[in-house]
Structure formats: C-alpha cells, structure tokens
C-alpha cells in the first residue's frame, strides 16, 4: 500500500517517531505510538497500519530489553567479569539498532510506504 495523503503520512511518521519518548519517560516508547494510534486510527487505514506496526515493534522491544537487562543483572551478580562487559555492549548495540530501525520506519512512512520492523511479535493485526 502506498499512501499519497500528506496528512496521513505525517501521522504515520509520528507513530514511529513518538517511540523515542521511551528515552524520556518509562514506557514512553509504547505510550507515544499508542496515543497517536488510538486517536487517529479511524481516520486512515495507513495511520492504522503504521500505528499497529510501531506498537508491535515497541512492545516486542520492551520484552527483549527486559530479557537483556535481566541477563545483565545475572552476569553482574554471578560472573562479575568479562561477561558483564559483553552484556553491556549487547545492551548498547540493542539501543543503537532500535534507534536505526525507528529512523528507517520514519523514512519509509515519509515516502508513504508500509514499513515492517524485523524481530517483531505481531500482537496487533
């Protein structure tokens, strides 16, 4: 599906960009896209699709982040050595990857394309 409505594209972009709120507010990565999607999903199928995609990705990322964080705690408590550094680097790489994927999603939304995030559990269909 290619979206030609500039307003729908803008809201599609915001569905992706709003997830950056997770760096400012706990669970802001989910709340930002959720609020936009709930308010705008009925206006255009493109906004609905982009909102669901962003939400699915952010919920998945939150689950993955929690698992990585728990691994970090376990490594810090039990191993107390090089493994902590490896998990710390994995956390950093994870954050960088998420930011890059959000940027890619935003760019594709600006072009009117439907973007499908990798590594996403499809909670909303």
* Structural domain contains residue 11: yes
pTM exceeding the 0.85 threshold for the entire prediction: yes
* Structural domain contains residue 125: no
Q: Which domain holds residue 16?
A: 6-110
Confidence band for 10, pLDDT divided at 50, 70 and 90: very high
* Structural domain contains residue 91: yes
Bridge partners (DSSP) of residue 113 are 2
- pLDDT tens digits along 68-123: 888 778 877 887 666 777 777 888 998 999 999 999 999 999 999 989 999 999 99
Return the closest-CA partner of residue 54 out of 1, 6, 120, 10: 120
19 backbone φψ class: left, alpha, beta (φ>0; ψ -120 to 50)? alpha
* Structural domain contains residue 115: no
Number of domains in the chain: 1
d(CA 125, CA 114): 14
């Amino acid at each position: 599906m290619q979206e030609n409505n500039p307003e729908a594209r803008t809201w599609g972009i915001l569905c992706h960009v709003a997830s950056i709120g997770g760096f400012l507010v706990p669970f802001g990565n989910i709340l930002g896209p959720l609020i936009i999607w709930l308010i705008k999903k009925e206006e255009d199928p493109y906004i609905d699709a982009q909102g669901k995609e962003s939400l699915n990705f952010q919920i998945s990322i939150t689950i993955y982040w929690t698992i990585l964080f728990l691994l970090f705690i376990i490594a810090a408590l039990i191993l107390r050595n090089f493994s902590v550094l490896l998990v710390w680097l994995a956390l950093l790489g994870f954050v960088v990857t998420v930011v890059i994927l959000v940027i890619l999603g935003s760019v594709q939304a600006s072009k009117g394309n439907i973007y499908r995030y990798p590594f996403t559990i499809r909670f909303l269909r």
